[in-house]
Amino acid sequence: MEATTKQAERRYTVAVYPGSFDPVTHGHMDIIRRAANVFDKLVVAVLNNSSKNPLFSVEERTELLRQATADLPNVEIDSFRDLLINYMKQKDAHLIVRGLRAVSDFEYELQLASTNRKLCEDIETFFMTSSPQYSYLSSSIVKEIARFHGPVTDLVPPVVEQALRVKFSQEHK
């Protein structure tokens, strides 16, 4: 009886996983797949970070994510250029998903979570630790390897590997 009551009280959960995803890596995909199993709907939101000089445009990153997550029916890919809190309100979402690779990520992520909570107390942040095989992996590392035509097959989805090859072959022309 108690389980039925809890099920009836259960709310539809929409979580947002924001990031630059420049490019999306297997580490990102690990978090996306695991979060998609936890929440009813996961919005992967590509942000336009004005402090970074991205390799791929927001549109390219969004499309790469769409292709990489095509097998996940409860995952939506979107982009935003505003404060995350404003975007969350637009999506009627109250949960932020953030991935943690190492202790060094935690301090920065805690600062962001605390700031978001200060701006909107209805927002909760869920931290997911990366699977151990991805704890070293970052988009910056992937771009550096790809820039010098190193192997990235084990680091990114196939669609991203191809996009990196194209991007860096154009750069050397």
> Crossing angle, helix 158-171 and helix 139-147, to 10 degrees?
50
Question: Is 99 labelled a binding residue?
Answer: yes
Is 84 marked within a binding site? yes
- Catalytic residue check, 33: no
* 147 belongs to the catalytic site: no
Q: 149 an active-site residue?
A: no
Q: Is 136 annotated as a binding residue?
A: yes
User: According to the annotation, is 140 in a ligand binding site?
Assistant: yes
Single out the catalytic residue among 28, 61, 130, 143. 28
Query: Is 147 annotated for ligand binding?
Result: no
Distance, CA of 125 to CA of 113 (rounded, Å): 6
Q: Are 42 and 75 in contact (CB under 8 A)?
A: yes
Residue 151 near residue 31, CB atoms below 8 Å: no
Q: Is 28 annotated as a binding residue?
A: yes
109 is in an annotated binding site: yes
Judge whether 130 counts as a catalytic residue.
Answer: no
Alpha carbon 171 to its chain's center: 26
Given the residues 26, 79, 139, 143, the one annotated as active site: 139
CA neighbor of 142 nearest in space, from 19, 18, 21, 17: 21
Q: Which residues are annotated as a binding site?
A: 20-21, 28, 52, 84, 98-101, 109, 134-140
Q: Which residues are annotated as a binding site for ATP?
A: 20-21, 28, 99-101, 109, 134-140
Residues serving a catalytic function are: 28, 52, 101, 139
